[in-house]
Amino acid sequence: MDGLYPEHQERTSSRGAATARARQTQESGFLEDVFAGLSAPRKSLPCKYFYDREGSALFDAICALDEYYPTRTETALLRSRAAEIAALAGRSAALIELGSGSSVKVRLLLDAFDRPALYIPVDISREHLMISAARLAGDYPAVTVVPVAADYVQGFALPAGVAAERAVVFFPGSTIGNFRPGEAIGFLRGLGTRLGRGVRLLVGVDLRKDKAVLEAAYDDARGITAAFNLNLLARINRELDGTFDLARFAHRALYNELRGRIEMHLVSLADQTVRVGGRAFRFHRGETIHTENSYKYSVGGFRRLAARAGWQAERSWTDPKGLFSLHWMVWPG
Ligand code: TRP
Q: Which residues, other chains included, contact 188 with Cβ-Cβ below 8 Å and sequence gap of 6+? A: 176, 201, 305, 306, 309, 310, 311
* Total domain count, the chain: 1
- The reply to whether 221 falls in a domain is no
- The reply to whether 277 falls in a domain is no
Distance from the alpha carbon of residue 63 to the mean position of ligand 1, in angstroms: 9
* 261-268 sheet: strands from edge to edge: 249-256, 261-268, 288-295
pLDDT at 230: 98
- The reply to whether 93 falls in a domain is yes
- The reply to whether 224 falls in a domain is no
Ligand 1 atom at minimum distance from 225 CA? 12
CA nearest 74: which of 174, 168, 200, 167? 174
- The reply to whether 41 falls in a domain is no
Say yes or no: CB of residue 62 within 6 Å of ligand 1.
yes
pLDDT at 15: 38
- The reply to whether 89 falls in a domain is yes
Residue 93 CB-half CA count within 13 A? 26
pLDDT at 22: 43
| The dihedral formed by the CA atoms of 57, 58, 60 and 64, expressed in degrees to the nearest 10 | 140
Nearest CA to ligand 1 atom 1: 175
CB 257 within 8 A of CB 274: no
Say yes or no: CB of residue 71 within 6 Å of ligand 1.
no
Distance from the alpha carbon of residue 1 to the mean position of ligand 1, in angstroms: 31
pLDDT at 111: 98
Nearest CA to ligand 1 atom 10: 218
pLDDT along the chain (333 residues), means of 10: 34 38 55 97 96 94 97 98 98 97 97 97 94 97 95 84 94 98 97 95 98 98 98 98 98 97 98 97 98 98 98 98 98 93
- The reply to whether 30 falls in a domain is no
Ligand 1 atom at minimum distance from 70 CA? 15
Nearest CA to ligand 1 atom 4: 294
* CATH number of residue 160's parent domain: 3.40.50.150
Q: Which residues, other chains included, contact 41 with Cβ-Cβ below 8 Å and sequence gap of 6+? A: none
Mutate to test the pocket of ligand 1, among 60, 152, 178 (most ligand atoms within 8 A of CB): 178
Residue 252 and residue 232: Cα distance in Å, rounded?
14
pLDDT at 74: 98
Range of the domain at 130: 6-12+66-209+297-330
Residue type, 225: T
- The reply to whether 128 falls in a domain is yes
CA nearest 298: which of 324, 280, 272? 324
Provide the H-helix boundaries in 241-328.
Answer: 299-308
DSSP 248: G
Mutate to test the pocket of ligand 1, among 71, 294, 296 (most ligand atoms within 8 A of CB): 294
Nearest CA to ligand 1 atom 11: 292
